[in-house]
């Protein structure tokens, strides 16, 4: 069926405008409660949020909807998305609901639902829930008696439970004593968790952007805006900088020289380390088609299989489960360590990098040499229509011409935006000059034939 609400990562929109309204959130709470109530006698649903001001409105509405169907709601307050995934299965809840728009600005918010096993729901279950959200009258005759209404409770030590889990992903004897770590918490869900965790494992911690006020989440900070963090690392002589996004499921690192270390580079570092230890399951790493060409070259040189998927962590996870891989992720810093967790976790990823630095005694800049990052150029061309690209001979011709000239020294990716009237032209080559030249060449032809 066509999905009106759920995208590839839950429901998103501008807060207090459809679909991010209190009415919709109330109906979502009812729908989720009904679907899981039909599967178990005494369901419990965890509800958590990031630091956006609109999170309070949506949280109360969702909890009211859950309780109105005779199901208990467990509130965890401000919590990261991977934290809610962990808590959902660790406290044996039947589902978890995350209220967050990740790296988006504060005006936006989103809702995603996690199963009691810590994994995102199947498309079929999301479609079932969406049906009840859009047709809430179906549930009217199923409201319980007053004595059977659900209850709302607060999980008092949710943060402590999650921090304990995170620490369990590194050896018990390993500490970060002697390491200076700068954190960019994006004024988001990691603002208390990350500083406390790194303090507990004996790092010297400087926490930046850890004072959320409801409207400053991701504002010129976090994994998409690392300029201040880079400057802080250089000026403060830190060993590493770690930048999370609003819900802390992503990580971008800064080495001791102030250089940005992307998700691809982090995956390459971890893949090499796991292979050296004989722990890289099926000698396979999963990434998306947007991964840097340099990553693919690095995997070939390391003799590691690199399975490639469509863009989106959902597809990465599906391929990891299919191929038996334990490591996969995206250039954006959404990295999944399936031997530890069910979803991408920025703080967990940071711990794995720090563990490697401690065990090898190498600085991050040295470890990052495992992969050369190819220069990349992206041009967004506004289009009047979106005909299949292979039906436009001139576009196909210029793409083939550029691919032939690049050979095995780069790549081309041309695709339409799924949400905007744009054609995205991305080229990677061995030099900045070649990258710019070839990208512009393709963009010009697209502009000529379908540009707006």
Q: How confident is the prediction for the chain on average, in pLDDT? A: 95
Clarify whether 102 is annotated catalytic: yes
Q: How many CA atoms lie within 13 A of 199 on its CB side?
A: 8
For residue 75, the number of C-alpha atoms closer than 13 Å in the C-beta half-sphere is 20
Q: Which CATH class is domain 162-370?
A: alpha beta
Tell me, what's the pLDDT at 56?
A: 98
Do 426 and 410 meet the contact criterion of CB atoms below 8 Å apart?
Answer: no
Sheet of strand 180-184: strand arrangement: 204-208, 180-184, 240-244, 251-254, 260-261
Residues 389, 393: Cα–Cα separation, whole Å: 8
CB 68 within 8 A of CB 76: no
| Residue range 105-133: mean pLDDT, rounded | 95
Distance CA 82, CA 344 (A): 7
For β-strands 305-309 and 284-288, DSSP reports them as parallel
Percent of the chain at pLDDT exceeding 90: 91
Given the residues 100, 102, 230, 349, select the one marked as catalytic: 102
- pLDDT tens profile 282-334: 999 999 988 999 999 999 999 999 999 998 888 999 999 999 999 999 999 99
Least confident span in 6-10, 96-100, 393-397:
6-10
Coil, helix or strand at residue 83? helix
Question: Distances in Å between the alpha carbon of 93 and those of 55, 89, 136, 423?
Answer: 21, 6, 24, 43
Quick one: which of 289, 306, 443, 310 has its CA closest to 377?
443
Confidence at 101, pLDDT banded by 50, 70, 90: very high
Nearby residues of 237 by Cβ (< 8 Å), 6 or more positions away? 180, 256
Q: Are 197 and 175 in contact (CB under 8 A)?
A: no
| Fold match between domain 11-156 and domain 162-370 | yes
Residue 100 tokens read as: 């967050």
Task: Calculate mean pLDDT across residues 96-125.
Answer: 95
The closest alpha carbon to 306, from 316, 348, 351, belongs to: 316
Kindly write down the DSSP assignment for every residue of 283-322, as one continuous string.
Answer: GEEEEETTS-HHHHHHHHHTT-EEEEE-SSHHHHHHHHHH
In this prediction, residues 391-409 reach a mean pLDDT of 92
Per DSSP, what are the bridge partners of residue 183?
207, 242
Kindly state the tokens that stand for 301.
Answer: 């040189």
Give residue limits of the domains in the chain.
Answer: 11-156, 162-370, 376-450
Q: Is 397 helix (H, G, I), strand (E, B) or coil?
A: helix
CA-nearest of 69, 123, 68, 66 to 96 is: 66
- Check whether domain 376-450 has CATH 2.40.37.10, yes or no: no
| pLDDT top residue among 95 and 39 | 95
Distance of CA 435 to the CA centre of its chain: 28
The segment with the largest mean pLDDT, out of 1-5, 172-176, 185-189, 390-394, is 185-189
Write out pLDDT tens, residues 359-383. 999 999 999 999 999 998 999 999 9
Using DSSP bridges, classify how beta strands 260-261 and 251-254 pair: parallel, antiparallel or unpaired: antiparallel
Q: What is the pLDDT of residues 126-149, one digit of tens each?
A: 999 999 999 999 999 999 999 999
Q: Is the peptide bond before 437 cis (omega within 30 degrees of 0)?
A: no
Question: If we measure between CA atoms, which residue out of 212, 219, 163, 173 comes closest to residue 189?
Answer: 212
pTM of the model: 0.91
Q: Which residues, including other chains, have CB under 8 Å from residue 218's CB and lie 6 or more apart?
A: 103, 104, 105, 106, 186, 187, 188, 224, 225, 245, 246
**52-95 confidence digits (pLDDT tens):** 999 999 999 999 999 999 999 999 999 999 999 999 999 999 99
Q: Pick the residue with more confidence: 184 or 8? A: 184
pLDDT for the residue numbered 7 = 85
Q: Are 281 and 325 in contact (CB under 8 A)?
A: yes
Please report the pLDDT score of residue 419 as a whole number. 65
Q: How is the chain split among helix, strand and coil, in percent rounded to 5? A: 40, 20, 35
The closest alpha carbon to 92, from 67, 62, 72, 66, belongs to: 72
Q: What pLDDT does residue 312 have?
A: 85
**Residue range 11-156, CATH number:** 3.40.120.10
pLDDT on residue 452: 84
Backbone angles phi, psi at 214, to 5 degrees: 95, -25
Over residues 251-265, the mean pLDDT reads 97
Largest pairwise CA distance in the chain: 73
Where are the strands (E) in 127-203, listed by range?
A: 152-154, 180-184
- C-alpha to C-alpha distances, 73 to 100, 121, 151, nearest whole angstrom: 18, 18, 6
Residue range 152-156: average pLDDT?
96
pLDDT in tens, 417-433: 876 789 999 999 989 99
């Amino acid at each position: 069926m066509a999905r009106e609400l759920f995208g590839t990562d839950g429901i998103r929109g501008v807060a207090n405008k459809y679909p991010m309204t209190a009415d919709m959130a109330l109906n979502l709470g009812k729908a989720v409660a009904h679907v899981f109530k039909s599967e178990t006698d005494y369901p419990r649903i965890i509800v958590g949020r990031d630091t956006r001001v609109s999170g309070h409105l949506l949280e109360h509405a969702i909890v009211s909807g859950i309780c109105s169907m005779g199901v208990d709601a467990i509130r965890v307050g401000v919590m990261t998305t991977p934290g809610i995934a962990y808590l959902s299965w660790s406290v044996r809840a039947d589902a978890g609901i995350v209220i967050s728009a990740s790296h988006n600005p504060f005006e936006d918010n989103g809702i995603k639902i996690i199963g009691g096993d810590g994994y995102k729901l199947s498309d079929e279950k999301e479609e079932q829930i969406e049906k009840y959200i859009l047709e809430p009258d179906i549930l009217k005759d199923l409201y319980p008696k007053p004595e059977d209404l659900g209850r709302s409770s607060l999980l008092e030590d949710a943060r402590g439970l999650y921090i304990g889990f995170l620490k369990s992903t590194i050896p018990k004897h390993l500490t970060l004593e002697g390491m200076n770590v700068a954190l960019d918490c994006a004024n988001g869900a990691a603002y208390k968790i990350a500083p406390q965790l790194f303090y507990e494992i004996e790092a010297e911690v400087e926490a930046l952007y850890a004072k959320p006020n409801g409207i400053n989440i991701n504002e010129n900070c976090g994994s998409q805006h690392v300029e201040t963090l880079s400057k802080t690392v250089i000026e403060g002589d830190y060993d590493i900088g770690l930048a999370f996004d609003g819900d802390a499921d992503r990580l971008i690192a800064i080495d001791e020289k102030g250089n940005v270390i992307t998700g691809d580079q982090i995956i390459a570092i971890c893949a090499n380390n796991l292979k050296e230890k004989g722990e890289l399951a099926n000698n396979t790493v999963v990434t998306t088609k947007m991964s840097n060409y340099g990553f693919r070259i690095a995997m070939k040189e390391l003799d590691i299989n690199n399975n490639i998927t469509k863009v989106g962590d959902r597809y990465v996870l599906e391929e990891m489960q299919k191929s038996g891989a334990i490591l996969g992720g995206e250039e954006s810093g959404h990295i999944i360590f399936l031997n530890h967790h069910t979803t991408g976790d920025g703080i967990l990823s940071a711990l794995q990098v720090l563990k490697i630095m401690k065990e090898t005694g190498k600085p991050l800049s040295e470890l990052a040499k495992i992969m050369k990052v190819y220069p990349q150029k992206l041009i967004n061309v506004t289009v009047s229509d979106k005909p299949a690209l292979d039906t436009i001979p001139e576009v196909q011709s210029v793409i083939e011409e550029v691919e032939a000239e690049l050979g095995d020294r780069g790549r081309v990716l041309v695709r339409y935006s799924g949400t905007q009237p744009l054609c995205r032209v991305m080229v990677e080559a061995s030099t900045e000059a070649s990258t710019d030249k070839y990208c512009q060449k393709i963009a010009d032809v697209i502009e000529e034939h379908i540009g707006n």
